[in-house]
Amino acid sequence: MEHIVIIGNGIAGITVARNVRKQSDKRITVISAETDHFFSRTALMYIFMGHMTYQHTKPYEDWFWQKNRIELLRAYVERVDFSEKRLYFSQGEPLAYDKLILAVGSTPNKFGWSGQDLAGVQGLYSYQDLELLEENAQHAKQAVIVGGGLIGIELAEMLLSRNIKVTFLVREKAFWGNVLPKKESELISRHIREHHVDLRLGTELKEILPDANGRVNKVITSDGEEIPCQLVGLTAGVRPNIDFLKNSQLETDRGIKVNRFLETNIPDVFAVGDCAQFDVPPVGRRPIEQVWYTGKLQGEALANTLCGNRTKYEPSHWFNSAKFFDIEYQTYGWVHAQMQEDEADFYWEHADGKKALHFVFDKQTQQLKGVNTFGIRLRHEVFDQWFSEGQTITHALEYLKDANFDPEFFKKHEDEIVDKFNRENGTAIQPKGKSWKRILKAVMG
């Protein structure tokens, strides 16, 4: 019986395992050094804040794996012998495979800062990081977070829930400035400061200094300022977790190089999820996409290939979502931090400074290219359909009410949004509705 071995029990690896089992009787082994069972990594912050327990973050009961004949192995892979098709662990006997799936995820970036390995300095990615944060938070009244992105925001919210004062060092002049346009970045920066975070834009970490016991005691910024702290969170992005694969015959760059079928340069070896880097990415997509849903889609495609139906990874239109404290953020299509030459845009922001919509469209054709939304929930399937149909900004504004996914008693703002567009552009767009029936019919077939 063919033996499929998967290193990594995150969303990408587990999606491969589940979908292979649905289609075949192949032997499946999932290896992880992190946890015994698959859990929702995006819920780590809610465990720390007391909103959930670890048990609540596991989508499947512990008996699920044995019932579905998916073998779980808690082990740390030190080396892969690709010629002999064997895995070697830090402890225990080697394991042979017929096909190997590398779903090894990411690890927090470190940039060689002096003191980055001191006690009290950590990243936030794995379950072990969460356990370490529980320990480090007990020693902390002040914390410094380094790096302005989504993990940094989560860590700030987590620490504030324990009454730990937070200073946030962001190298760029704007928060998440490589992703968010200027007005959105300013909105989020205001919101961060309203939550009593000391946000320092354009400020870099120079070094981390210890106390007499070897724990972090303060940081020195690029401006020479000393900031006392007992905890430092390094959240300056993540990178593919592939150090143990370097200096092997596996072709790597920033990640493990794959084609659109998730195949590496070695026969019977594949890569999915955060660690995979496409040699030729899908049109309009990045070579590495470290997002939950892309890992899931890649896992589904690879499972088909492993079961005899060779399937190319074909993602639909880009989307992502996150939370900045209590402001929900969604993005559909592409809204770049810097406008492209062929693009025009329309930005609306509510008077409370906590809700905004930003549309980007083609200057000539008016075709919708992307939308960012803050504090207003939009329907993914509606925008996905509009992009596929090549709909215009006019259509999007006419039927914006149909895209709204806010609960029933939330205040709606579509009339105000359309009115602002009309005043700025000399148009006379009238809000309409009910296009959702046509969209659902198209989506459901």
Q: For position 328, which CATH number holds?
A: 3.30.390
Residue 84 is part of a domain; what is its CATH number? 3.50.50.60
The token pair at 54 is 């670890």
Same domain flag for 340 and 370: yes
State whether 171 and 260 are in the same domain.
Answer: no
The answer on 226 and 254 residing in a single domain is: no
Query: Measured between alpha carbons, how far is 2 from 29 in angstroms, rounded to an integer?
Result: 11
Residue 295 lies in a domain: yes
Residue 383 counted as domain residue = yes
Please tell me whether residues 420 and 338 are part of one structural domain.
Answer: yes
Q: Is residue 147 part of a domain?
A: yes
- pLDDT tens digit string along 34-92? 999 999 998 999 999 999 999 999 999 999 999 999 999 999 999 999 999 999 999 99
Q: How far is CA 21 from CA 45, 302, 309, 351, in A?
A: 31, 13, 14, 52
CA dist., res. 160 & res. 163, Å (int):
5
Range of the domain at 360: 319-444
* Whether 270 and 337 share a structural domain: no
Are the C-beta atoms of residues 268 and 307 closer than 8 Å to each other?
Answer: no
Structure tokens belonging to residue 254: 């920033």
**Domain shared by 193 and 281, yes or no:** no
| Per-residue pLDDT, 444 | 57
pLDDT confidence of residue 246: 87
Q: Does 190 lie in the same domain as 267?
A: no
Domain count, the chain: 3
Residues of the chain with pLDDT under 50: none
Q: Do 190 and 250 sit in the same domain of this protein?
A: no
Residue 166 contacts by C-beta under 8 Å, 6 or more apart in sequence? Answer: 142, 143, 144, 145, 156, 159, 160, 196, 197, 198
Measured CA to CA, the distance from residue 391 to residue 376 in angstroms comes to: 21
Q: Do 438 and 356 belong to one domain?
A: yes
Which of these three, 236, 261, 290, is where a domain ends?
Answer: 236
